[in-house]
């Protein structure tokens, strides 16, 4: 079964238990053609469930490969694999040949209804409390990936944050370079969502630490933040926003303290403001 929207092709393969010959050479050839299409356009994702590209499944012995990726089906006996570890990456082929990454979204196969009206790049937004705040034309935007939801909650209660040594240096440099404000989009690893937006209040104090974190000894250097919006946004709603400086991957695939282009940052801010209304 093949499902298609403007940016995503989903190939849903039947489980091995339903077919004597689960994946024919013709099917493989069709997948190869679709893969080449994605590689050519750079804007179409290929997704297959069960994961025919998974290493070690040995579902298709002796049938070769397509575009350098061994084609195998998982040994799942159910229609849907039991966990996300058996799912493939979002196969945007510019990167799928060299690595296997999943966009961290368990709902990726649901083909969500995208908002009817695209986000406009306005610069005045509404806090979770209802008041307004303005985003300067010189503002900068970063993704924050936290190891723990507890740390994010602690930040919301105490109004501070701490990143890795490299992340702290990157954020500190950005804060000192710009007068337009530095905005942080928070996401907890493996949560398949973003959870809030905060703004840096000062540069980082590298001499200070805090014991509010789940692993207090791990984080050195803190800085105050103002939480502007606290809201959960599924990654699937942001998959159309891609970061050129990160191999054109979706924002959900960003590493900690990945900087976002100005237009992408504003678009994310607009999604945070309007989602759920």
| Residue pLDDT, tens place only, 51-66 | 554 544 444 444 333 3
What is the average pLDDT across 188-216?
Answer: 94
Segment 222-233 shows an average pLDDT of 97
Residue 91 has pLDDT above 60, yes or no: no
State residue 81's pLDDT score. 35
**Range with the poorest average pLDDT among 13-27, 159-173, 230-244:** 13-27
Q: Whats the size of the chain, residue-wise?
A: 277
* CA 254 – CA 14 distance, rounded (Å): 32
Measure the CA–CA gap between 204 and 111, rounded to whole angstroms: 41
**C-alpha pair distances (Å), 222 with each of 67, 91, 141, 155:** 46, 37, 18, 11
Task: Tell me which long-range contacts 169-177 makes (C-beta under 8 A, separation of at least 24).
Answer: 170/142, 170/257, 170/259, 171/142, 171/200, 171/204, 171/223, 171/257, 172/203, 172/204, 172/206, 172/223, 174/140, 174/142, 174/259, 175/200, 175/202, 175/203, 175/204, 175/223, 176/203
Residue 261: pLDDT over 60: yes
Identify the helix (H) or strand (E) that includes residue 143: strand 140-146
- 31: pLDDT confidence band, cut at 50, 70 and 90? low
Domain edges within the chain: 2-102, 124-274
Confidence (pLDDT) at 110: 42
Name the residue among 54, 41, 57, 40 with its Cα closest to residue 6. 41
- Mean pLDDT in residue range 112-118: 43
Give pLDDT, residue 67: 39
Summarize the confidence of residues 109-124 as an average pLDDT. Answer: 51
Assess whether pLDDT exceeds 60 at residue 143: yes
SS3 108: helix
The winner for highest mean pLDDT among 98-102, 115-119, 234-238 is: 234-238
What CATH number belongs to 124-274? 3.10.590.10
pLDDT reported for residue 9: 56
pLDDT band at 219 (very low <50, low <70, confident <90, very high): confident
- Please list the residues that pair with 142 across neighbouring strands: 184, 259
Structural contact between residues 248 and 94, judged by C-beta atoms closer than 8 angstroms:
yes
pLDDT for the residue 101: 38
């Amino acid at each position: 079964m093949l499902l298609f929207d403007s940016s995503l092709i989903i190939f849903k393969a039947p489980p091995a238990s339903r077919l004597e010959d689960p994946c024919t050479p013709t099917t493989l050839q069709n997948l190869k053609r679709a893969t080449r299409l994605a590689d050519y356009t750079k804007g179409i994702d290929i997704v297959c469930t069960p994961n025919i590209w998974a290493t070690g499944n040995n579902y298709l012995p002796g049938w070769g490969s397509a575009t350098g990726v061994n084609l195998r089906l998982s040994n799942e006996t159910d229609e849907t694999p039991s966990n996300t570890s058996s799912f493939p990456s979002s196969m945007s082929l510019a990167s799928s040949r060299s690595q296997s990454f999943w966009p961290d979204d368990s709902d990726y196969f649901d083909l969500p209804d995208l908002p009817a009206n695209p986000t406009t790049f306005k610069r005045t937004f509404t806090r979770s409390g209802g008041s307004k705040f303005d985003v300067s034309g010189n503002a900068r935007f970063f993704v924050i990936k936290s190891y723990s939801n507890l740390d994010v909650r602690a930040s919301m209660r105490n109004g501070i944050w701490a990143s890795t040594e490299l992340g702290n240096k990157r954020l500190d440099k950005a804060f000192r370079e710009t007068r337009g404000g530095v905005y942080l989009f928070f996401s907890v690893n493996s949560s398949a969502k973003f959870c809030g937006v905060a703004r840096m209040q000062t540069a980082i104090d590298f001499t200070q630490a805090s014991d509010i974190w789940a692993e207090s000894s791990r984080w050195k250097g803190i800085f105050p933040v103002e939480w502007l919006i606290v809201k959960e946004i599924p990654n699937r709603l942001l998959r159309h926003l891609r970061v050129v400086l990160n191999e054109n991957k979706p924002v959900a695939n960003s590493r900690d303290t990945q900087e976002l282009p100005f237009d992408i940052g504003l678009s994310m801010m607009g999604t945070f403001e309007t989602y759920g209304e």
